[in-house]
Amino acid sequence: MPELSSAFVRLHARLTPVAFVPEVRLHQADEPIGLWELTEGEFSSDRPPPFWAFAWAGGQALARYVTDHPELVAGRRVLDLASGSGLVAIAAARAGAATVRAVEVDELAVAAVALNAEANAVRVDAEFADILDGDAGDAQVLLAGDVFYSQAMANRVLRFLLRAARAGALVLVGDPGRAFLPRDRFDELAVYDVPVPPALETVRVKRTTVWQLRPGLPKAAD
């Protein structure tokens, strides 16, 4: 299956620079809707949508921030949650992270992360797993781009991020104004106007914020 997934990524995505982080090249799809239909159809009906095939606004903003502030990750163990294409993980590796672990629930995304890391000459450990009910392991920095896109996902992600932050990890999130981001939990670090594919976002530029999670005090509801 890993070989098939890698071949699929190579076939349906071209290696091109990321619009807002041109230092990084990713395998990106030219035509979003056709690939979306393909991955939901004949290739496998139980797969998530192809988040790995596009540079989403939240990931681009977070990768830009990490690239411009390498001291945040340099020499540290980094976890990139819901890594997608691996853009944020690759940015962390380029910025000098000691180790980078990129976790995804889509085998195609895991293959894309591995291919993209190789194309950028960095090491990223791509992992196929759902870790949201667990913890961030030994990660000192936790990065998450565009993960608050649904209520169900947001609830699970927030609990995971809070556990990591309360264990001492620096938790940074990139978000382009998704409805389910609990803004009262975060401090704003930077705001960017990020180029995005109109077919995905209906606009060409998304105002996107990089946030830092405040650990707060443990609560029974968290």
12-59 confidence digits (pLDDT tens): 899 999 999 999 999 998 865 556 555 554 444 344 568 899 999 999
* CB-CB contact of 5 with 27 (8 Å): no
pLDDT at residue number 32:
59
pTM comes to 0.90
Residues 6 or more apart from 187 whose CB is under 8 A from it? 211, 212, 214
With residues binned 3-state (H G I as helix, E B as strand, rest as coil), the percentages for the chain, rounded to 5, are 35, 25, 40
The average confidence (pLDDT) of the chain is 90
- For residue 197, name the pLDDT band (cuts at 50, 70, 90): confident
H-assigned helices in 83-217: 87-94, 107-119, 151-166, 198-201
CB of 58 closer than 8 Å to CB of 145: yes
The Cα angle at residue 145 between residues 30 and 213, in degrees rounded to 5: 170
Phi (first) and psi of residue 183, to 5 degrees = -60, -25
Q: Tell whether the model's pLDDT for residue 195 goes beyond 50.
A: yes
**DSSP H helical ranges for 20-102:** 32-40, 57-68, 87-94
What gap in Å lies between CA 36 and CA 144, rounded to an integer? 22
75's tokens: 């020499």
| pLDDT at residue 42 in the model | 41
Q: What is the pLDDT of residues 77-135, one digit of tens each?
A: 999 999 999 999 999 999 999 999 999 999 999 999 999 999 999 999 999 999 999 99
User: Residue 31 in contact with residue 45, Cβ under 8 Å?
Assistant: no
- Dist CA 183 CA 173 (whole Å): 11
The larger pLDDT score, comparing residue 199 to residue 73, is at: 73
The pLDDT score that the predictor gives to residue 48 is 55
Q: 171 falls in which pLDDT band (50, 70, 90)?
A: very high
Report, as an integer, the average pLDDT of 145-168.
94
Of residues 186, 141, 185, 183, the one with CA closest to residue 164 = 141
